[in-house]
């Protein structure tokens, strides 16, 4: 990282054997060649691979403009004039599986991918590249090599090691005399990558190590207990990841002035995917909280929320052009995760009326999503009204939100404008009314999400402050390339 005393962990999921279109060719002209017969090299792959390993079987003597002939392991012959940086790369010492790839003789794209491939096949998903920890999601549980908080983690390529380095750098600066300290004690760990790369799990590992390293305590445990809440309200199933974070999160862990104990924490969130609240693609899901409520809540509570587990709620149905009727996709662990989520909410003070209000908003959004509009012709044009089959959902949503049923319907079907001191009412067509309803659903859920985050912060930030040493963990997509 270019920033002083900032540690970074960069999550990535990419293997050398991926289906990637490359512009190959039997003869390509480039600048220079620096290879001899017998050298092991990498050449650009065909449509099935990114790079192929091969052997130079002929090379010209002219080192400024020599032809190089390569035969790959799969029998393809490759003739080129290019050396480093394009179609041909040196293979190095023939070894792979380095814990830190800066130790490799050549640090180039094919060598990095091959090293990651070898380590991931050996159930070693983490690999350092200098200060950056690259993670290849194993997509399966792995046996822990060490417990969180163990200082021996510095010998491993692991999120624990990134967390430990940040902790050691923070405490090292704090122990120095003020006049000798050249940089602030605060540290930041960036966890980034595309969907399914393993950001959520890696962030949880970092946090678990920081909590264990500080000796635990009730406040530290409360930090860990916030994970089920944030995953319920901010995570969803995508095509690539069954538990994908659909928001960015910066968690700041505040320590006492000696850096020995956690005294507070604060969380900032960014870019919640609002579009998912009312629409998602086939094979994906809405936010977990809706499914967990329907799968895990008692029948009496569901009845109070005007919900029925067996009913098809439209915001939970995927968009599909297929003729097959879409269904709501529940996961086997939705009911268990509901209990874990409600227990975690109680731990941060969301119980009683507060909890009731949380599930009321979820129930209201589900009911609102099932409201449909019909158009009727009037002297002033088309006017939308809630269809007869949607009346029960309108009534349920109105009751849960504590508003009048008629007023709620008018909020979608009528527009009021004040002109010259007079209020002019105009009618809304059904299509526009549906768009207004979608906006209300997004606004309600987004505000519930923000309220939940603020409530967690009030519970965690007991003694936090800007003057206390801090380790920040930034979990966000979009920083795959720092260029």
Summarised one tens digit per residue, pLDDT across range 395-433 is 999 999 999 999 999 999 988 888 877 888 889 999 999
Read off the DSSP letter of residue 141: -
Distance from C-alpha of 169 to C-alpha of 106, rounded to nearest angstrom: 30
How many angstroms separate the CA atoms of 276 and 211, rounded?
33
d(CA 77, CA 55): 10
Other C-beta atoms lying within 10 Å of the C-beta of residue 196:
18
Chain Cα centroid distance, residue 415: 38
Q: What is the pLDDT of residue 87?
A: 66
pLDDT under 70 in the chain at which residues? 1-34, 61-66, 81-87, 92-94, 177-184, 320-325, 462-466, 478-483
pLDDT value at position 240? 83
Phi, psi for residue 222 in degrees, rounded to 5:
-65, -35
In the numeric block, the tokens 């390569």 are attached to: 70
Which string of DSSP letters, residue by residue, matches 294-337? HHHS-HHHHHHTT--TTS--GGGSPB--SSSPP-----TTHHHH
DSSP-assigned beta bridge partners for residue 191: 9, 475
- pTM comes to 0.81
The β-bridge partners of 449 are none
* Cα–Cα dist 169/148, whole Å: 18
Structure tokens at 441: 């659903």
pLDDT confidence of residue 393: 97
pLDDT at residue 158, as a whole number: 95
Give all strands of the β-sheet with 40-44 in edge-to-edge order. Answer: 27-28, 77-80, 68-72, 51-59, 40-44, 88-90
């Amino acid at each position: 990282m270019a920033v002083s005393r900032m540690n970074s962990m960069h999550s990535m999921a990419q293997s050398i054997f991926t289906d990637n279109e490359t512009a190959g060719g039997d003869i390509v002209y480039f600048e220079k060649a620096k290879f001899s017969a017998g050298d092991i090299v990498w050449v650009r792959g065909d449509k099935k691979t990114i790079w192929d390993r091969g052997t130079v079987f002929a090379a010209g003597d002219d080192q400024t403009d020599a032809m190089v002939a390569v035969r790959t392991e799969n029998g393809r012959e490759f003739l080129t004039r290019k050396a480093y940086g394009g179609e041909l790369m040196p293979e190095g010492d023939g070894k792979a599986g380095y814990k830190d790839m800066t130790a490799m003789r050549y640090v180039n794209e094919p060598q990095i991918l091959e090293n990651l491939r070898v380590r991931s096949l050996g159930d070693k998903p983490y690999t350092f590249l200098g200060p950056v920890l690259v993670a290849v999601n194993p997509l399966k549980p792995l046996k822990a090599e060490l417990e969180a908080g163990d200082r021996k983690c510095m010998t491993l390529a692991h999120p624990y090691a990134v967390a430990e380095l940040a902790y050691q750098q923070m405490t090292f600066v704090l122990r120095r005399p003020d006049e000798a300290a050249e940089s602030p004690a605060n540290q930041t760990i960036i966890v980034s990558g595309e969907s399914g790369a393993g950001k959520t799990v890696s962030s949880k590992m970092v946090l678990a190590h920081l909590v264990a390293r500080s000796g635990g305590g009730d406040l530290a445990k409360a930090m860990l207990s916030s994970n089920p809440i944030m995953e319920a309200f901010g995570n969803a199933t995508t095509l690539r990841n069954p538990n994908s974070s659909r928001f960015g999160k910066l968690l700041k862990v505040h320590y006492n002035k000696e850096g020995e104990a956690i005294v507070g924490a604060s969380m900032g969130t960014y870019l919640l995917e609002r579009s998912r609240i009312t629409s998602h693609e086939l094979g994906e899901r809405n936010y977990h909280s809706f499914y967990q409520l329907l799968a895990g809540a008692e029948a009496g509570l569901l009845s109070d929320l005007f919900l029925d587990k067996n009913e098809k709620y439209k915001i939970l149905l995927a968009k599909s052009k297929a003729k097959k009727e879409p269904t709501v996709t529940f996961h086997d662990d939705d009911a268990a995760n509901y209990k874990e989520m409600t227990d975690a909410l109680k731990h941060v003070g969301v119980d009683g009326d507060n909890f009731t209000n949380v599930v009321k908003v979820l129930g209201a959004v589900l009911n609102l999503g099932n409201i449909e509009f019909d158009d009727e012709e009037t002297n002033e044009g088309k006017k939308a009204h809630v269809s007869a089959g949607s009346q029960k959902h309108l009534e349920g949503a109105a009751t849960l939100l504590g508003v009048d049923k008629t007023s709620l319907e008018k909020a979608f079907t009528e527009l009021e404008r004040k002109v010259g001191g007079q209020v002019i009412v105009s009618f809304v067509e059904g299509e526009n009314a549906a768009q207004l309803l979608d906006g209300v659903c997004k606004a309600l859920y987004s505000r519930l999400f923000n309220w939940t985050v603020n409530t967690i912060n009030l519970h965690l930030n007991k003694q936090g402050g800007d003057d206390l040493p801090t380790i920040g963990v930034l979990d966000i997509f979009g920083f795959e390339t720092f260029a």
